[in-house]
Amino acid sequence: MSDDGQWQLHGSAPELYERYLVPAITALWANDLLQRAAPQPGERVLDLACGTGIVGRLAAARMGAGWIVGMDLNTGMLAVARAHSANGACAVQWLEGSALALPFRAESFDLVLCQLGLQFFSDQPLALKEMRRVLAPAGRVALSVFTAIEHTPAANALADALDRNVGAGASQTKRSEHGMSDQRELAELVSNAGFRNLTIETVTQIIRFPSAEEYVRLQLSATPMAALLEGMDGPRQQEKLAAITRDLITSLQLASDTDELTFPQEAYVLVATR
């Protein structure tokens, strides 16, 4: 375990998310989603719940030419997206807005992408109807959501460790990432919004972090879970983080806290047409 008290990383949570968690996790899912969605040169693409913009950036690189809009409610995430966005024939326009009231005319896009975001929308049926509204008649949607937390061992172990060491309910944010774990419910939700030709695949990515300690530190610095330790003094914060890490190591039966942490992460990936 670290003994120097330097648990907190330097930078805002969105900056840390882009620097550490995007390469380790979300870029893997973004490449998979885009391979299935197959955006074509010249298409009009909406990346909904875009975060710091990895899906939009990778789509732009694949397409070469076209129109891409990345939209999110989080101003901090969008600021990072803009800072990392490159100019070119297929530059991405970043907009702040809600998935429940998309500021676009009907049939504005050929493809709507939504990576690991649908589970967080307060009105999922409305969000899906909005996605369909802005799609052209031959348009398609491609989205992903995590499956049950039990199918991602590190996330499950972290959630349990948070409840034990921070307090009952401390894992709510982590567990909410896995809030759409019923495949039939997901299919019904998308079908009821009017989409057709649904395919849903259960996909597993292998996630790697240098150590369990690094995984815990990033989860509690580069995500909304950073709020769990706000207000604690340095020694108390370090004590909590060390206890959570020890619990994670025990739960995952790791040999030591310096070993590489490798675990499967599972998601449903859905593609459908308007």
Which has the closest alpha carbon to 110: 88, 96, 131?
131
Identify the helix (H) or strand (E) that includes residue 68: strand 67-72
Mean pLDDT to the nearest integer, 102-115: 98
Structure confidence at residue 11 as a pLDDT band (50, 70, 90): low
pLDDT number for residue 182: 96
Q: What is the rounded average pLDDT for all residues in the chain?
A: 92
pTM: 0.92
The yes/no answer on whether domain 13-273 falls in CATH 3.40.50.970 is no
pLDDT number for residue 248: 93
pLDDT number for residue 1: 38
**pLDDT tens string 253-271:** 887 666 899 999 999 999 9
Q: What angle do CA 211, 119, 122 make, to 5 degrees?
A: 135
Mean pLDDT to the nearest integer, 40-62: 96
The type of residue at 274 is R
For the chain, what are the domain ranges?
A: 13-273
Contacts 24+ apart (CB under 8 A), 182-190: 183/147, 183/268, 186/145, 186/268, 186/270, 187/270, 189/124, 189/125, 189/128, 190/128, 190/141, 190/270, 190/272
Q: What percent of the chain has pLDDT over 90?
A: 85
pLDDT number for residue 232: 82
Mean pLDDT to the nearest integer, 202-230: 93
Which has the closest alpha carbon to 226: 2, 3, 70, 12?
12
> Which strands sit side by side in the sheet containing 92-96, from one edge to the other?
92-96, 67-72, 44-48, 109-115, 135-146, 261-273, 196-209
**pLDDT above 60 for 18:** yes
The type of residue at 150 is E
**pLDDT tens string 143-192:** 999 999 999 999 999 999 999 999 999 999 999 999 999 999 999 999 99
Decide: helix, strand or coil at residue 130.
helix
Query: Cβ distance 124 to 190 under 8 Å?
Result: no
Query: Cβ distance 5 to 234 under 8 Å?
Result: yes
**Dist. CA 227–CA 31, nearest whole Å:** 30
CA 160, 162, 168, 172: dihedral to nearest 10 degrees? -80
